[in-house]
Amino acid sequence: MRGPRWGVLTLLGAMSCGSGGAPDINGPASPAPASADTIPLRTLVAQRGRHIGTAGDRGFRYTGSDLTRFRRLLAREFDLVTPENDMKHERIHPARTQYRFEPADSILAFADSAGLRVRGHPLVWHRQLASWLTSGSWTPTEARALLQDHVTTVVGHYRGRLLAWDVVNEALADDGSLRPGLWLDLVGRDYIELAFRAARAADPAVALFYNDYNIEGVNVKSDSAYALLREFRARGVPIDGVGLQAHFVAGGVPATLGQNISRFAALGLKVHITELDIRVPIPATAAMLQTQAQNYRDVVQTCLSYPACEVVSVWGLTDRESWIPSAFPGFGDALLFDASYQPKGAYFGVYDALK
Ligand code: XIL
């Protein structure tokens, strides 16, 4: 395990990890931090006044030593967590008059105990909607009331406790048009604005975000997001930031990421990199993992060069929990830690950028 790791360190240069006498980081059940010879990412990022996050909920359902290991590594390296699924409509609102907050609440309890902030994700999305909602037939007036009730209740439950909410997720198609889906179809284009206004009314302090994928670089879809958010800012619709999901393929980080962050920042918006992962074809080659490590370093470096870019959050703790293999067959190994909880070149890419 040491070989590839130090190989990447050499490649990235300027690393100052401990050498002789380093703890055995390869014991499978060892509760010791996976990267005991480095400074935690959260310590490095605090010095830059930003946050480094990860997503999880599968890991929080491990038991025994697996759970201990998951929680320790997460709390050691990250200062922010996003529930990966537990705040989604189908989970948190399983029946019309029933909300189920316990799973996400337990992540918040962990976050409190470990000194982590939490990003709420997502309030309004076209996917992972409860079947009572998708199978019903609703008038536009009823649909508006359902959206309003959902946002008001969920934001109200977490009032004062979150760093940010992804209020509306993935409202745009790749050609920049509004993406068809239950809320657009039933409520009409006003659903986006309605969601932001309801969220602000339910929590006056939490930062409200529009979140999407394929809007990381300058392209027709991010042009459309930019126009929408500029218009919201001009009209005083409550919005504080844009979330760039950043589900990348190794070698595919857009060259215009910085330029794009810069134009959203110029609207007075915060920018969060919300769901960063960089997938590679599996089995992964050493060359691909080196490209991935450099991509991670570049993304973090780019974010750091804009004060508005206050969060980089990866979409999962380790390659064991990652959504990538099931969502993108043939790809994997997208995160900072491998399935044995060992830090990869990708981790040291982030480390290098933060140092
Ligand atoms: C994904 C989760 O990671 C999976 O566990 C789940 O099965 C599907 O959703 N964009 C988003 C996230 O905003 O909520 C998605 O998360 C990934 C794409």
CA distance 202 to 166: 14
Nearest Cα to Cα of residue 77 among 134, 23, 115? 115
CA distance 16 to 142: 60
Q: How far is the CA of 55 from the centre of ligand 1 (A)?
A: 10
Q: Which residue carries 């997503």 as its tokens?
A: 55
Helix, strand, or coil (residue 118) = strand
CA distance 310 to 129: 30
Whether ligand 1 lies within 6 angstroms of the CB of 148 is answered as no
Residue 231 designated active-site? no
CA distance 280 to 248: 9
Neighbour-count burial for 193-215, b at 16+ CB within 10 Å, e otherwise: bbbbbbbbebbeebbbbbbbbbb
CA distance 330 to 325: 7
Q: How far is the CA of 341 from the centre of ligand 1 (A)?
A: 21
Three-point CA angle 341, 353, 18, nearest 5°: 55
Active-site choice (77, 84, 170, 310) = 170
How do the pLDDT tens digits run along the chain, 355 residues long?
332 332 333 333 333 333 323 333 333 333 334 455 789 999 999 999 999 999 999 999 999 999 999 999 999 999 999 999 999 999 999 999 999 999 999 999 999 999 999 999 999 999 999 999 999 999 999 999 999 999 999 999 999 999 999 999 999 999 999 999 999 999 999 999 999 999 999 999 999 999 999 999 999 999 999 999 999 999 999 999 999 999 999 999 999 999 999 999 999 999 999 999 999 999 999 999 999 999 999 999 999 999 999 999 999 999 999 999 999 999 999 999 999 999 999 999 999 999 9
